[in-house]
């Protein structure tokens, strides 16, 4: 993935403030040794919320990567939120020569339809109803670690836990035998972790 985002030259990244462009910007800043120009469309129809979100994303990516060779350009747009690749090219193109931009990174997800025409289940809300909470990503994930470290799939039952008291090993032993718990590769490391302290 690092090769995909390697850009030893002035480049541009279109950032909306969403997860896709946030991850893309993070990887570019990790790998680009030259200047990175970040472009954001300011949409009046979104009450400029995307400007606030994208600014927070830029600040966090700079903090995590330590790459301060960035300039954030906010381009105001009176119409609806742009949809597709062409409006993003049109936003950056007038600046490409003067800023010496050699590469443009764009991650586009199509705008959702105004009306939902299918049935979907909000699994996160359903899990929460029964006491299962999502956990945060591992620190290693934000430093270029494995995709599994995002932990987007990981939920844990928290109604039976007491913050600052419940221990990981004790809870696991309520469900599994000690012999089986010891087969867990991180058993010795994790068994004494306390919920809310050194356990999610």
pLDDT at 2: 47
Domains assigned to the chain? 11-105 (3.40.50.620), 123-190 (no CATH)
The answer to whether 79 touches 90, Cβ cutoff 8 Å, is: no
Exposure of 155 by Cβ count < 10 A (0-12 exposed, 13-18 middle, 19+ buried)? middle
Instruction: For 145-182, write each residue's pLDDT tens digit.
Output: 888 888 888 898 988 999 999 999 999 999 999 999 99
Question: 69-112: per-residue pLDDT in tens?
Answer: 999 999 887 766 666 677 888 889 888 889 988 888 887 666 55
pTM across the whole model: 0.52
**What per-residue confidence (pLDDT) applies to 110?**
60
pLDDT of residue 5: 58
User: Which of the residue ranges 18-22, 42-46, 111-115 would you say has the lowest mean pLDDT?
Assistant: 111-115
Convert 120-173 into a string of H (helix), E (strand) and C (coil). CCCHHHHHHHCCEEECCCCHHHHHCCCHHHHCCCCEEECCCCCCCCCEHHHHHH
């Amino acid at each position: 993935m690092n090769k995909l985002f390697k850009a030893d030259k002035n480049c541009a990244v279109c950032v909306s403030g969403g997860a896709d462009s946030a991850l893309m910007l993070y990887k570019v800043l990790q790998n680009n040794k030259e200047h990175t120009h970040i472009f954001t469309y300011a949409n009046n129809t979104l009450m400029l919320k995307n400007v606030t979100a994208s600014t927070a994303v830029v600040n966090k990516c700079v903090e995590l990567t330590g790459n301060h060779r960035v300039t954030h350009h906010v381009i105001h747009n009176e119409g609806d939120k742009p949809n597709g690749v062409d409006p993003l090219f049109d936003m950056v193109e007038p600046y490409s020569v003067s800023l010496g931009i050699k590469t443009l990174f764009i991650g586009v997800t199509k705008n959702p339809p105004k009306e939902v025409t299918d049935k979907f289940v909000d699994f996160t809300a359903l899990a929460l109803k029964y006491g299962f909470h999502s956990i945060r990503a591992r620190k290693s994930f934000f430093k270029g670690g494995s995709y599994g470290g995002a932990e987007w799939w990981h939920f844990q039952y928290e109604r039976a836990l007491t913050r600052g008291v419940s221990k990981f090993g004790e809870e696991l032993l309520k469900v599994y035998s000690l012999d089986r718990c010891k087969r867990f590769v991180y058993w010795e490391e994790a068994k004494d972790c306390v919920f809310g302290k050194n356990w999610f």
